[in-house]
C-alpha cells in the first residue's frame, strides 16, 4: 500500500502496487480528497480507473454528507455466486445448449430504447416466473412512497417490476464456472436496472442544483453533495436504500432462473452446496470505523470485513475469485470489485478485432462477435496483478474459470 499525501487535503491510500493507474483516475482521486467531509483518507483499490462521477475502485468515507455521483447510477450493482453439486465431467461437451437455455430464461440486452419491445425486460410481469410477484410485493409499497416523495424523478414511468429478474447490458453477465476441484458454480453480475439509473441521475442533478443554490464551487461538478439533515439527503438515502434492496433481489431471482435453466439442460439432478454469496459493489452504507459512525461509499469495491465472503470477477476469458475478507481497517474493510478496465470501451473496440476476441475467449462458450469487443479480456487489467496488490485485504477461497458466459 502506498500513500499520496496532499497539502490541505485528505491522504489517498493506494493498493495499486504493480497495477497501472491512469492519470485521469488520479486526478479524480485528488479532486475528491479536497472535499472537507472526507473521513481520514480515501482508499483506492487495485482495479481503480476513471469513471463517470467518481473513480471506479474507490472507497469514500464521509461524515455528514454523501456524494450521489460517487455511488453512481447503477445503484446496488454487484455479484452473486453459488456452488452446485455438479462436476465438470457432468457437463456436456457442447455447452451451447446451456448458454441458450440461460439466455431464454433471463431477459438480457436492450432494444427499443428500453420501451415496450425491450428484449431485456419482461414484456409483462405475467410472463415472468411466479416468484417475481412475491419478491415485488416486498418492494412495492416502499416504491409507491418513492414516487410520491420524488415527483420529478419520473419513477412512475420506470416500471421496475418488468426489470426484476433481468440482466441488463454492458459488463453485466451470467457465467457457469469451474473451481479448482472441478465443481460447477453459477456466477452473475447485475444491479438495479433502469429504476436505479433514474434514481441516481435524479439525485445527482438535485445535488448539483443544491451546490448552485448555496454558491458552492467544486473542483468537479460531479462532486456535488447532499448534507446530512437536509430534506434532499433524507429523500436520497431512502431511495438509495430501496434501490440497493431491489438490486440484491434482482440477482437472487436471476440465480433461481439460472438454476432452472440448468435443470432444463439434461444435466443430472443437483443442489446448491455452498452459502450463496450476494454482494454489492456500487453502494453506500452506514458503518463504524475507528469508533465513529460514518457513511462509506464503495464505487466499484466490495466490503471485506473479517470473514466476509466476496466475489472478484476477472473478464470473459480470465479467472475469477471467491474471497474472504481480512478486515483491513486502513481500506475501511474493502477490496476490489474486479479486474478493472485498462481502456475505455471505445478504445477497446478500435484496438481489438473479432479474431483477437475469439482467441482470448478460447474454451469459453460465449458470444464472439463485434458487439462484445468492448468487453474482451484485453480491455481489462491483468487479474493476477490485481489480486497480488490486495493480498493484505483478502484471502482467496476459490479460483473460478468460466466455461459459459452470457453477456447483456
Between the two ends of the chain, the Cα-to-Cα distance in Å is 35
Q: Which three cell numbers stand for residue 287?
A: 458503518
Residue 183 three-state SS: strand
Nearest to 21 by CA among 334, 13, 331, 280: 13
Question: Which residues, including other chains, have CB under 8 Å from residue 178's CB and lie 6 or more apart?
Answer: 88, 184, 185, 400, 401, 403
Q: Is the dihedral of CA 177, 368, 282, 138 positive or negative?
A: negative
Q: Which three cell numbers stand for residue 21?
A: 493507474
Distance CA 4, CA 30 (A): 9
In terms of DSSP bridges, do strands 65-66 and 226-227 run parallel, antiparallel, or are they unpaired? antiparallel
**Residue 234 belongs to what H/E stretch?**
helix 231-263
* Cβ atoms of residues 170 and 373 within 8 Å: no
Question: Which residues, including other chains, have CB under 8 Å from residue 198's CB and lie 6 or more apart?
Answer: 153, 154, 155, 158
288 burial type by CB count under 10 A (0-12 exposed, 13-18 middle, 19+ buried)? exposed
HSE-CB for 369 with a 13 A CA cutoff: 5
Point out the catalytic residue in the list 172, 281, 333, 337.
Answer: 337
337 flagged as catalytic: yes
- Quote the DSSP letter at residue 217: -
Residues labelled as active-site residues: 337
Amino acid at each position: 500500500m502506498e500513500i499520496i499525501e496532499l497539502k490541505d487535503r485528505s491522504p489517498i491510500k493506494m493498493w495499486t502496487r504493480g497495477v497501472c493507474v491512469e492519470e485521469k483516475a488520479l486526478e479524480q482521486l485528488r479532486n475528491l480528497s479536497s472535499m472537507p467531509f472526507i473521513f481520514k483518507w480515501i482508499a483506492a483499490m487495485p482495479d481503480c480507473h476513471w469513471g463517470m462521477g467518481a473513480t471506479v475502485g474507490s472507497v469514500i468515507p464521509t461524515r455528514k454528507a454523501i456524494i450521489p455521483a460517487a455511488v453512481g447510477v447503477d445503484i446496488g450493482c454487484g455479484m452473486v455466486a453459488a456452488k452446485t453439486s455438479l462436476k465438470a465431467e457432468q457437463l456436456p461437451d457442447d455447452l451451447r445448449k446451456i448458454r441458450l437455455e440461460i439466455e431464454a430464461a433471463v431477459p438480457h440486452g436492450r432494444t427499443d430504447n428500453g420501451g415496450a419491445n425491450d428484449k431485456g425486460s419482461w414484456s409483462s410481469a405475467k410472463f415472468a416466473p411466479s416468484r417475481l410477484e412475491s419478491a415485488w410485493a416486498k418492494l412495492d409499497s416502499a416504491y409507491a412512497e418513492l414516487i410520491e416523495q420524488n415527483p420529478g424523478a419520473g419513477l412512475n414511468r420506470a416500471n421496475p417490476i418488468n426489470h426484476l429478474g433481468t440482466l441488463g447490458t454492458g459488463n453485466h453477465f451470467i457465467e457457469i464456472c469451474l473451481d479448482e476441484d472441478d465443481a460447477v458454480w453459477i456466477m452473475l453480475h447485475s444491479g438495479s436496472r433502469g429504476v436505479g439509473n433514474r434514481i441516481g441521475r435524479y439525485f445527482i442533478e438535485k445535488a448539483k442544483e443544491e451546490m448552485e443554490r448555496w454558491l458552492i464551487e467544486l473542483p468537479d461538478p460531479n462532486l456535488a453533495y447532499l448534507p446530512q439533515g437536509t430534506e434532499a439527503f433524507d429523500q436520497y438515502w431512502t431511495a438509495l436504500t430501496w434501490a440497493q434492496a431491489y438490486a440484491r433481489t434482482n440477482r437472487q431471482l436471476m440465480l433461481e432462473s439460472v438454476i432452472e435453466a440448468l435443470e432444463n439442460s439434461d444435466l443430472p439432478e443437483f443442489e446448491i452446496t455452498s452459502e450463496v454469496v450476494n454482494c454489492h459493489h456500487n453502494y453506500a452504507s452506514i458503518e463504524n470505523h475507528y469508533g465513529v459512525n460514518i457513511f462509506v461509499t464503495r464505487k466499484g469495491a466490495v466490503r471485506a470485513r473479517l470473514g466476509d465472503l466476496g466475489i472478484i470477477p476477472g473478464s470473459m476469458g480470465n479467472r475469477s475469485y471467491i474471497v474472504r475478507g481480512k478486515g483491513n481497517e486502513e481500506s475501511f474493510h474493502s477490496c476490489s470489485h474486479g479486474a478493472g478496465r485498462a481502456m475505455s470501451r471505445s478504445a477497446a473496440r478500435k484496438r481489438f478485432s473479432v479474431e483477437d476476441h475469439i482467441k482470448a475467449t478460447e474454451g469459453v462458450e460465449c458470444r464472439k462477435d463485434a458487439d462484445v469487443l468492448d468487453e474482451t479480456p484485453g480491455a481489462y487489467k491483468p487479474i493476477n496483478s490485481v489480486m497480488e496488490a490486495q493480498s493484505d485485504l483478502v484471502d482467496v477461497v476459490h479460483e473460478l474459470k468460466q466455461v459459459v458466459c452470457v453477456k447483456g
